[in-house]
Amino acid sequence: MLPLLALIALVGIAGTLAAPFVAAAPAPARVHLTFAIGIAPLILGALGYFVPVLTRSAAPPPRVLAAPFAALAAGVVAVAYFAAPAAWPLAYLAAAVIELAAVGAVLAWMARRARASIGAPHPCVRWYLAAAACLAAALLAVLVMPYAPAQYVALKRLHLHLNLLGFVGLTALGTLQVLVPTAAGAADPRAAARLDADLRWALAGTVLVAAGAAWLPLAAAVGLFFWLSLAIRIARDWFTLYPGRLLAWHGAPPSLGAALAGFTVTLVLGALHGGGTLDPRDAVLAFILAFLLPLVTGALTYLAPVWLRPGAQTPWHESVRAALGHYAGLRAGLFVAGGILAGFGSAAGTALAALGLALFVVQGVRAVALMRP
């Protein structure tokens, strides 16, 4: 299921990159191709994989396994609405309700698993609970829109920041702090304490940026400071522990490290667009190119072999990983550079990122060839 959701996410991102060439693709349709069709179902599916690993418990029940597909259906409805709003004027509300039911099922299940775990649950599980709560709050903001038309723009800003920093950011930064040491093959002794201490700052940062972007710009500046300082602390610890692995040409770590760099760059671009220097839509595109692309391709490089053949790690897993991670450092450089250029409104940014994505597709085809018995 997860390889399929990852493939859909990459197709969604490719659709977002191609959408400017399609006349009938307004900006919200373009953005929701990546986020609502691609990323939200992938994240909900990934939570169903990571939470049992972190709480050492059984596989999720069927309703949690079905949640990513309900989210996918919601995403399709949302994109159809944005492509032709007059054809089905209330469809976005239906999409929000379906997505809310999906995330509600995952949230309730994660809370039960966290409560049932022996001893304190892994601190990353609390990051996941906070992330899912942010998605739920972002969807509630959409449901309030028809009742508060004067607040439409504020609610949209609330929705998008709760989603990008809260739902995607908290899931990703929580997971990266577990995944980078695993992929680098050496423990990070500070990871658990950092996850434990930083969640309150990450969550406060998200709420301040979201509410600040909606109503009070000064609060957004404080929230941005919280997020930037914790991203810089993670980068400092990783560069002390894994400098050679993060700056390598090949493997998952350079791509995962680039995702953190891309996230940090997007925070700075966010400050510039908040200050009116850049177009906010370019900042959303930069988030996709500089952060999501190295994140998804890096995570797939390490995890796809485990997802495809769970159980004991064999030379087969290593060879598929090596194929997917070939020149991942170069690929990640193209994504981050592309994101920065896109953030400043240059079409060359999308071209660079598309080149990186094409490289990953070629490597994916080589990896599939290795999968034949």
Under 8 Å between Cβ of 255 and 248: no
Size of the site for ligand HEM (CB under 6 A): 25
For residue 131, state whether it binds ligand HEM (rule: CB under 6 A): no
267-286 binders of ligand HEM (CB under 6 A): 281, 284
Under 8 Å between Cβ of 282 and 343: yes
For the CB of residue 268, give the shortest distance to ligand HEM in the complex, in Å: 18
| Backbone phi and psi for residue 215, each to the nearest 5 degrees, phi listed first | -135, -30
Specify the residue, 131 or 230, whose C-beta has the smaller distance to ligand HEM.
131
For residue 96, state whether it binds ligand HEM (rule: CB under 6 A): yes
Under 8 Å between Cβ of 95 and 75: yes
Distances, alpha carbon 199 to alpha carbons 219, 259, 372, in Å: 18, 19, 43
Q: 23: exposed, middle or buried (C-beta count within 10 Å: 0-12, 13-18, 19+)?
A: exposed
Residue choice 14, 54, 55, 99 for contact with ligand HEM (CB under 6 A): 99
CA Rg value for the chain: 19
Q: What would the x/- binding string for ligand HEM be over residues 133 to 152, using CB under 6 A?
A: ---------x----------
Residue choice 44, 114, 129, 168 for contact with ligand HEM (CB under 6 A): 168
Under 8 Å between Cβ of 30 and 83: no
For residue 160, state whether it binds ligand HEM (rule: CB under 6 A): yes
Residue choice 113, 122, 159, 321 for contact with ligand HEM (CB under 6 A): 159
CA–CA separation, 274 vs 267, rounded Å? 10
For residue 16, state whether it binds ligand HEM (rule: CB under 6 A): no
Specify the residue, 24 or 118, whose C-beta has the smaller distance to ligand HEM.
24
Which residues are within 8 A (CB) of 153 and not within 5 positions of it... i.e. 6 or more apart? none
Specify the residue, 158 or 328, whose C-beta has the smaller distance to ligand HEM.
158
For residue 92, state whether it binds ligand HEM (rule: CB under 6 A): yes
Under 8 Å between Cβ of 61 and 96: no
Secondary structure (3-state) at 15? helix
For the four alpha carbons of 16, 347, 361 and 171, in that order, the dihedral sign comes to negative
For residue 40, state whether it binds ligand HEM (rule: CB under 6 A): yes
Q: 275: exposed, middle or buried (C-beta count within 10 Å: 0-12, 13-18, 19+)?
A: exposed
Secondary structure (3-state) at 29? helix
For residue 106, state whether it binds ligand HEM (rule: CB under 6 A): no
For residue 39, state whether it binds ligand HEM (rule: CB under 6 A): yes
Residue choice 15, 48, 60, 75 for contact with ligand HEM (CB under 6 A): 75
Among 9-17, 23-31, 123-131, 330-338, the segment contacting ligand HEM (CB under 6 A): 23-31
- Nearest-CB residue for ligand HEM: 35
**Which residues make up the interface to ligand HEM (CB under 6 A)?**
27-28, 31-32, 35-36, 39-40, 74-75, 78, 92, 95-96, 99, 142, 156, 159-160, 163-164, 167-168, 281, 284
